[in-house]
Copies of this chain bind each other. A is one copy, B any other.
Amino acid sequence: MNRNQRSSKISNDTVKSLEAIVGKENCLTDPEDLKCYGCDASKYEYLPDAVLLPENAGQIPDVLRLANLEKFPVVPRGAGSGLTGGTLPVYGGVVLSLKRMNRIIDIDEENLTTRVQPGVVTADLQKAVAKRGLFYPPDPSSLAFSTIGGNIASCAGGPRAVKYGVTRDYVIGLQAVLPTGEPIRTGVRTAKGVVGYDLTKLIVGSEGTLAVVTEAVLKLIPQPESRRTLLAAFEDLLAAARTVTRIIKARIIPCALEFMDANAIQCVAQYQNVQLPKSAGAMLLIEVDGAQETVVRHTGDIKRLCLEEGAVEIETAASDADSEKLWNARRAVAPSLFKIKPFQISEDIVVPRSRIPEMVGFLQAIGRRLRLDVVCFGHAGDGNIHVCIMVDPKDSDEMRRVRQAVSEIFDQTIQMGGTLSGEHGVGITKAPYIRKEIDAFGIDVMRRIKAAFDPNNVLNPGKIFPDEASVTGFMQ
């Protein structure tokens, strides 16, 4: 079910020029290679004409200058773990994989910063800084393979965002190449800086459409002294949601405050080797970190609040290994879903956290009404709900009902003061919907910013903006 939408291939001469820039061994054109770099976690596929794997930042300006001259697309790519198709070459052209630029350049313990190349895997950076007692908090579920460059492009979040914020909050400076080929340096290497417009935070989350990041300066913080995890089961989601509200009202900000609805619990209990109270209507996975004394006290406070709100079971991890077990239950949700049906349409809505029960109620009702398997889980502390609708793409009637559900879900999200995407980005899969959230004036100014950076629209075209984007429903 794959189909390539691009209109024209780049010429053999262009391929030769690209080989001259990055080296023959770093320019791939074999069909097998093109296929590997033509898909991502969105499950869509669009083949590029060539794949480049530059070894250093110095090679990138020439690639972009050539692209402007010959008007072919250049699509930056990290690990390809994005869920919205942000890294797919929808108009063909060149995929620019940054994975060979994967050095941690330095870790500065006195100034609490690190300088990294974009291809560094997030988990590798976290381990390297942890050895020095330091902490890089952003923790997208993909962290074992996704890269800092990809995390920057999508402004990746994760469970810890509730306390520690998202990727944007840790990027203080960049080296990047503009779409027209000029290298720029943005932001600072220091704790603060307000000279000129904040290009750094503008590039973060721009999904590789404004610049190719070649180096990032990231802020680090001290590793928390201590951490404690607990898993609480409730009879219904309302009780779990009340608990979330009461924890926040008690002025405790856990470093994770995750939830699963009844469908998610049943999936995990049925398909994975994880012990869970199957009858529970909702579960919360709560983790607190910080100074040891405070963690102990806050864990006690949270347990009391869970019980007061009617928790039917609470499990507290006594060790790191125990804590891992509890996290496994949460992490098992996504893989276990595929036991229901072969594909999922995964949404990433956010509502004000106090409105989670109302929203999940709405989602469950829509599942019943449109006869769809809807599973909800995610970051309750942020109001960020991952809504998974399990589908069989061969069932065209079901696919029609899914599209209707997604449109209704987005309308309801906006009506509740929420946003269509908390951490996955827009890419191609959400582009048709962004007018629901951003008005015409906002989209116009964003388009003008894109044109100010990329007059020939060569860098990652066909993403974010409606109309231009071309999701046509062809899945792998």
Which residues from chain A sit less than 8 Å from chain B, CB to CB? 108-113, 133, 154-155, 157, 161-162, 165-166, 168-169, 178, 182-186, 188-199, 201-202, 204-206, 210, 221-223, 225, 245, 248-249, 251-253, 290-291, 293-294, 297, 350-354, 379, 381-384, 417-426, 430, 434, 437-439, 441-446, 448-453, 464
Contacts and interface: CB of A to CB of B under 8 A. Distances in A.
Contact of A437 (B109, B195, B221, B424): B195
Contact of A252 (B162, B201, B222, B253): B222
17 contacts: A108-B354, A111-B352, A111-B383, A155-B198, A183-B441, A185-B442, A191-B350, A191-B382, A191-B383, A192-B379, A193-B419, A195-B420, A196-B426, A197-B446, A202-B202, A222-B253, A290-B291
Contacts of A166: 192
A245 B112 CA distance: 11
A435 to B, nearest CB: 11
A442 B196 contact: yes
Closest 6 CB pairs of A and B: A222-B251, A448-B452, A291-B294, A293-B293, A110-B354, A193-B419
B353 A184 contact: no
B205 A202 contact: no
A350 to B, nearest CB: 4
Contact of A190 (B165, B169, B351): B351
Nearest to A383: B190
A155 B195 CA distance: 10
Given A196-B446, A198-B205, A434-B195, A190 B222 contact: no
B110 A194 contact: no
A441 to B, nearest CB: 4
B192 A350 contact: yes
Contact of A297 (B178, B291, B351, B423): B291
A206 B251 CA distance: 33
A155 B110 contact: no
Nearest to A202: B202
A275 to B, nearest CB: 31
Nearest to A157: B192
